[in-house]
């Protein structure tokens, strides 16, 4: 069987770094994206430079019917291929103080992070259970551990996925599947480009924002056989800001 890793929200930022890191480990990569096909193709090109194959898969993780149609379709036409690694990375920020937060700002963030985790993982984990092997890695956030003002929606969504990570790990551990979460702090990505590093780095013991590769390296370790007895954990990558 040919081994694949599926990375949701894989077109840019942390998702792109994770795709390339898993490709370096020898995994063929499925790059999920929702809208930016150009960036998804750039990620795919970087993946193929590592000597593996890959595909881009367009679907909205928050839409159950899209997830089922695309992933079930891929599995049916690729029965000689296994998705061994799932990285649930798709997420958005819609920051606002709660008293001014709109229904849309609340639901769009919750739908992608929480519903997206549920729909994609439910689809992929069935085959992992049959094969008695798999790695599920959820990208959460410092915000989901300590809460951040202006991010009640984002904090709630990431905290929900942390709870789900710990529960699912207990359901599937006997079948050789590990489920863990990685909680980045302030990382240099499109999602943090509106934040001034100078304003925040004094709060961080390491006195800087993190790099996407520093997150991807932890994901890579969790995806490897070296982490075989680690499950149900949340690993913070935050420069010591909150541990």
Active site residues: 154
Alpha helix stretches (DSSP H) within the chain: 13-24, 37-48, 64-77, 103-110, 116-131, 142-146, 152-172, 197-200, 212-223
**Three-state SS for 207?**
coil
State how far the Cα of 15 lies from the Cα of 95, in Å rounded to an integer: 21
What are 7's strand-pairing partners? 31, 87
Q: CB neighbours of 191 closer than 8 A, spacing ≥ 6?
A: 13, 92, 93
Q: What is the DSSP string of 76-115?
A: HH-TTEEEEEEEE-------B-GGG--HHHHHHHHIIIII
The tokens describing 217, both together, are: 């390296």
Element housing 179 (H / E): strand 177-184
Tell the residue number behind the tokens 């590592």, with chain if given: 50
């Amino acid at each position: 069987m040919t081994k694949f890793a599926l990375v949701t929200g894989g077109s840019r930022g942390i998702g792109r770094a994770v795709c390339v890191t898993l490709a370096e480990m020898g995994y063929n990569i499925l790059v999920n994206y929702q809208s930016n096909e150009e960036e998804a193709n750039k990620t795919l090109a970087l993946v193929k430079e590592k000597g593996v194959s890959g595909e881009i898969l367009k679907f909205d993780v928050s839409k159950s019917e899209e997830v089922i149609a695309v992933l079930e379709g891929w599995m049916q036409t690729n029965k000689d291929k296994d998705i061994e690694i799932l990285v649930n990375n798709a997420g958005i920020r819609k920051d606002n103080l709660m008293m001014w937060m709109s229904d849309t700002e609340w639901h769009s963030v919750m739908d992608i992070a929480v519903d997206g985790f549920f729909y994609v993982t439910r689809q992929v984990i069935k085959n992992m259970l049959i094969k008695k092997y798999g790695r599920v890695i959820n990208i959460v956030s410092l915000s989901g551990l300590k809460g951040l003002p202006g991010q009640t929606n984002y904090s709630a969504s990431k905290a929900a996925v942390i709870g789900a990570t710990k529960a699912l790990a207990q359901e599937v551990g006997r079948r050789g599947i590990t489920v863990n979460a990685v909680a980045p702090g302030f990382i240099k990505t499109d999602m943090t480009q509106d934040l001034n590093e100078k304003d925040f780095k004094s709060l961080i013991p390491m006195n800087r924002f993190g790099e996407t590769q520093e997150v991807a390296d932890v994901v890579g370790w969790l995806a490897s056989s070296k982490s075989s007895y680690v499950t149900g954990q949340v690993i913070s990558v935050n420069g010591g800001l909150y541990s």
